[in-house]
Amino acid sequence: MKPILASTLALLFTPATALACRCAIDLDPKTAYGTSENVAIVRVVSSSLISEEVESESFDAASGDESPIRSITTREHVAATGRVVKQLKGESRASLLIETTGFGGTCSLSPQVGYTYDVFWDGASASHNNCWRQPLLHDVPNDLMRQWDKSHSQPSASR
């Protein structure tokens, strides 16, 4: 009974931040705009769970056996497809792949179907997780949106 009580007390007094994603940050849209190759207003239209097998090798340093131990694990992540409503910076495109980190960790976070985001990315696809959380359109200050898109009016739908 005492071990159960001790572990319960330990959980009660563990700071919530210790259980959160280590890299959780709030993305500053102004900074992200300046450092990203591409910026667009993107409405997420679909998402799917992707499972892939990953092969790895490890060595048992305690044993005299120098041959690697091979193992196969399954890694899962969400791949969402977004329709580009308006390109604000970078190369124009009609759609965008938005990927998450693997499930099971505290940093996984999926973009929600039907929601509209301001998406900042480099390369061919964007990431969305607690370490790089794409902001919802309505969370980006209106003055920044006007600054980024002086010639067009801001879309009204944020969900």
Contact 106, 129 (CB under 8 A): no
Handedness of CA 121, 126, 132, 136 (dihedral sign): positive
Number of domains in the chain: 1
As beta bridge partners, residue 53 has 74
Please indicate, yes or no, if residue 13 is contained in any of the structural domains.
no
* Order of all β-strands in the sheet with 69-89: 116-121, 38-58, 69-89, 95-99, 126-127
- CATH number, domain of 121, equals 2.40.50.120
Q: Residue 137's domain spans which residues?
A: 27-148
Please indicate, yes or no, if residue 55 is contained in any of the structural domains.
yes
Please state, in angstroms and rounded to a whole number, the distance separating the CA atoms of residues 129 and 136.
Answer: 13
What is the pLDDT at residue 20?
A: 54
Please indicate, yes or no, if residue 134 is contained in any of the structural domains.
yes
> Token pair of 139, please?
């969370």
What is the pLDDT at residue 23?
A: 62
Please indicate, yes or no, if residue 44 is contained in any of the structural domains.
yes
What is the pLDDT at residue 85?
A: 96
pLDDT tens figures, 111-156: 889 999 999 999 888 887 767 788 889 889 988 988 887 734 444 4
pTM, to two decimals = 0.65
Please indicate, yes or no, if residue 12 is contained in any of the structural domains.
no
Please indicate, yes or no, if residue 18 is contained in any of the structural domains.
no
Please indicate, yes or no, if residue 74 is contained in any of the structural domains.
yes
Please indicate, yes or no, if residue 112 is contained in any of the structural domains.
yes
Residue 100's Cβ-side half-sphere holds a number of Cα atoms within 13 Å equal to: 25
Closest CA to 118 of 101, 132, 135, 130: 135
Phi-psi group of 123: left, alpha or beta (phi > 0 → left; psi -120 to 50 → alpha; rest → beta) = left
Decide: helix, strand or coil at residue 30.
helix
Distances (CA, A) of 37 to 13, 42, 104: 43, 15, 30
| Residues of the chain where predicted confidence (pLDDT) is lower than 50 | 1, 3, 5-19, 103-104, 151-156, 158-159
